Amino acid sequence: MKILLVGSGGREHALALGLHADSACTELHAAPGNPGIADVATLHPLAITDNDAIAALAQSLAVDLVVIGPEVPLVNGAADAVRAIGIPVFGPSKAAAQLEGSKDFAKGVMRDAGVPTAHSYTCSTEAEIVKALDEFGAPYVVKDDGLAAGKGVVVTNDREVALNHALACDRVVIEEYLDGPEISLFGISDGRNILAMEPAQDFKRAFDGDQGPNTGGMGAYSPLPWAPENIVEETYEKVLAPMIAEMAARGTPFVGLLYAGLALTKNGIKVIEFNARFGDPETQVLIPRLQTPLATLLYKAATDNLDDEVLNWSDESAVTVVVAAEGYPESPKVGALINLPTCMDTTFYHAGVSHTKDGLVTSGGRVLTVTGLGRNLREAREKVYGTLPLILCENSFYRSDIALAASEGK
């Protein structure tokens, strides 16, 4: 099977290694890819916002499957462009990707599917905004309706800050604050069936102790020793399966990865958000633990064939830590040389990394993720945190507390 993978982040690097490890994958292409992905795939230049270019590349390579990693091309309809030329795609249509592209749309589907989530109002005028803020009270949760590259959500006790963020959005979802630990739980769907993956936890704030600005994610771990034992079954029954059934009933089946961000509240699980693609950096802990051959799995999902499929997982624990460029997320300082140790114990997933004549240099806010596997979280952490000081990269930083509490049984 020939596969084209679209994207260039740490998530795509993890997917590339997973696809490459499946013997069914005989040829792997990536566009635009990154220097790490280049070890296992042939890279092709590509503007991922150009649907026709994605379809044309898939056609010229005569691939059997296209896997689309990031949300922007999915929300733009890249999967539709590839399906239109008869090539199977792992990734939702433009209509189905609205689950990530519009918070208001996701709320409507959840309502129709009976999926538990925060009460909310979608507002377009100042009067509606003020009414919603005052009804829910602090902490205020204000979400830009559309894609906002991780900057759309403000959670604050400051009414002024909440109001100003809301007024700066064209359309805004204001909702009830959900109290409780957050987890990420993904499902792989062929449009009718959905296979729940194991849960992971992501660390969104930039600095130790959950301080600093919100980011795309500074680290993750899986499994979650503290989570309720039936969390996967419960999420399947209350969230994943009803969403897939509702999307199919609307005539816009969701084919791809449905990312449920959940709050475990005292009133049960509630959906915080959906994404229409693998999470980053959660993928960098899930793919190393997934034993089901990935290329075959994603091909079956893309061709409506998951009826008899099951997911198998390694018993090992995985921890991943993001190395970010100083100034991330606001204004990352890039262009620093990166020197990676030769290390058998951990895996480096490249993200904001470019190849130059001088070697590897930083080219984005999230530079790389380092994953360690161990018999438990403590061992996985030891491997990652043993490796991180050996990475030579000026003007970079990482959190020192990823999976710390969970590894201590908290």
CB of 263 to ligand AMP, least distance (A): 6
Please say which residue, 46 or 257, places its beta carbon nearer to ligand GLY: 257
Quick one: which of 280, 302, 324, 347 contacts ligand GLY (CB under 6 A)? 280
Please say which residue, 148 or 249, places its beta carbon nearer to ligand GLY: 148
CB of 374 to ligand GLY, least distance (A): 22
Nearest alpha-carbon partner for 54 in 82, 16, 77? 82
CB of 94 to ligand AMP, least distance (A): 20
Two structure tokens written together for 330? 């606001």
Strand (E) positions, 69-202?
A: 89-90, 120-123, 140-144, 153-156, 172-175, 182-190, 194-196, 201-202
Upper half-sphere CA count for residue 13 (Cβ side, 13 Å): 26
Binding residues among 80-139 for ligand AMP as defined by CB under 6 A = 118
Strand (E) positions, 165-316?
A: 172-175, 182-190, 194-196, 201-202, 205-207, 211-214, 219-222, 255-265, 268-275
CB of 282 to ligand GLY, least distance (A): 6
Nearest alpha-carbon partner for 6 in 37, 38, 31, 39? 31
Phi first, then psi: give them for residue 248, nearest 5 degrees.
-65, -45
CB of 280 to ligand GLY, least distance (A): 5
Stretch that binds ligand GLY, among 90-98, 118-126, 248-256, 278-286 (CB under 6 A): 278-286
Strand (E) positions, 357-409?
A: 359-362, 366-374, 392-393, 396-397
Binding partner at 321 among ligand GLY, ligand AMP, none, C-beta below 5 to 8 Å by kind:
none
Quick one: which of 122, 275, 347, 396 contacts ligand GLY (CB under 6 A)? 275
Binding partner at 155 among ligand AMP, ligand GLY, none, C-beta below 5 to 8 Å by kind:
ligand AMP
CB of 33 to ligand GLY, least distance (A): 19
Stretch that binds ligand GLY, among 15-23, 123-131, 274-282, 285-293 (CB under 6 A): 274-282
Q: Find all residues with CB under 8 Å of 202, minimum gap 6, and list them.
A: 182, 184, 217, 219, 220, 279, 281, 282
- The amino acid occupying position 322 is V
Q: Does 279 bind ligand GLY (CB under 6 A)?
A: yes
Two structure tokens written together for 244? 């897939």
Q: Does 173 bind ligand AMP (CB under 6 A)?
A: no
Q: Does 72 bind ligand AMP (CB under 6 A)?
A: no
- Answer for the pair 235, 72: CB distance below 8 angstroms, yes or no: no
Binding mask 232-271 for ligand AMP (x = CB under 6 A): -----------------------------x----------
Two structure tokens written together for 258? 């449905």
Q: Does 174 bind ligand AMP (CB under 6 A)?
A: no
Two structure tokens written together for 371? 């994953």
- Answer for the pair 284, 346: CB distance below 8 angstroms, yes or no: no
Please say which residue, 210 or 394, places its beta carbon nearer to ligand AMP: 210
- The amino acid occupying position 43 is L
Stretch that binds ligand AMP, among 42-50, 176-184, 185-193, 382-390 (CB under 6 A): 176-184
Please say which residue, 17 or 118, places its beta carbon nearer to ligand AMP: 118
Nearest alpha-carbon partner for 294 in 88, 6, 20, 27? 20
CB of 200 to ligand GLY, least distance (A): 9
Please say which residue, 145 or 280, places its beta carbon nearer to ligand GLY: 280
Stretch that binds ligand AMP, among 4-12, 76-84, 177-185, 316-324 (CB under 6 A): 177-185
Binding partner at 178 among ligand GLY, ligand AMP, none, C-beta below 5 to 8 Å by kind:
ligand AMP
Binding residues among 197-256 for ligand GLY as defined by CB under 6 A = 202, 216-217
Two structure tokens written together for 342? 């030769």
Phi first, then psi: give them for residue 252, nearest 5 degrees.
-130, 70
CB of 283 to ligand GLY, least distance (A): 8
CB of 273 to ligand AMP, least distance (A): 4
Q: How far is CA 306 from CA 192, 193, 214, 313, in A?
A: 8, 6, 36, 17
- Which residues are near ligand GLY by CB under 6 A? 202, 216-217, 275, 279-280, 282
